[in-house]
Structure 1
Amino acid sequence: MKKIVLKVDFHAERIKQKATKTTSGISGVESVNVDTKDKKLTVMGDIDPVNVVGKLRKLCRTEIVSVGPAKESDKKAERR
């Protein structure tokens, strides 16, 4: 599972809603978190970052901030 942080230019509320809907519709996406203050979109799941950016660039300007593994330590602590 990957954690992808994207910088997205939300210039309207409608664009933010479309971006969230588009991202959550991609197969393999488990969660989407939007931070409108910092203009960041965090996506978690088994996905290709290039695919996500390609779909979002049709709506607004998008840049990859970071791509990395999702933290497994939180899940292991919950299981115990």
Structure 2
Amino acid sequence: MQVVVLKLDFHCERMKQKAMATVCRLSGVKSVGVKDDKLTVTGDIDTYIIVKKLKKVCYTEIISVGPVKEPEKKPDPKKPSEPPEVVYWYPPQVPPYYQHFNGCVYEDPNTCVIS
């Protein structure tokens, strides 16, 4: 991909539209822009072909040819790292009235209670 900036000599608005249409028909053209008398063409195309086609419409002069500049990526402002939430686990607490109970009701199977 390359960017070609051309200076065109437009006499009227119709010539401007004709130049834009001529460039847009070329294969490999990704975008075309006009500002004042400068035509900016972006795409995979030979500069010579663009100038050759435009010279049939109006006077054309090459200003610059170069690779496409990719937009600079700004580093994302990261939030200050927060420490992970710590979860503490404690074993379940036994109520105090059950702490002295240390066995099964059936400690002595031969015990019989008659009331």
Q: Deviations over 1:9-65 (max 9, x none)?
A: 0111110000001101100000000012xx100000001000000000000000000
Provide structure 1 residue ranges, at least 5 long, that are not aligned to the other structure: none
Distance in 2 between residues matched to 1:34 and 1:10, nearest whole Å: 11
* Residue of structure 2 equivalent to 1:51: 49
SS at match of 1:50: helix
* Residue of structure 2 equivalent to 1:70: 68
Which of structure 1's runs of 4+ aligned residues deviate more than 6 A?
A: none
SS at match of 2:57: coil
* Residue of structure 1 equivalent to 2:40: 42
Cα shift at 1:66: 0.3
Pairwise CA RMSD: 1.4
Distance in 1 between residues matched to 2:10 and 2:48, nearest whole Å: 19
Which structure features the higher share of strand residues? 1
Aligned length: 74
Task: Give identity over the alignment, percent.
Answer: 58
The TM-score normalised by the length of structure 2 is 0.61
Larger radius of gyration: 2
Q: Which has the higher contact order (CA 8 A, sep 6+)?
A: 1
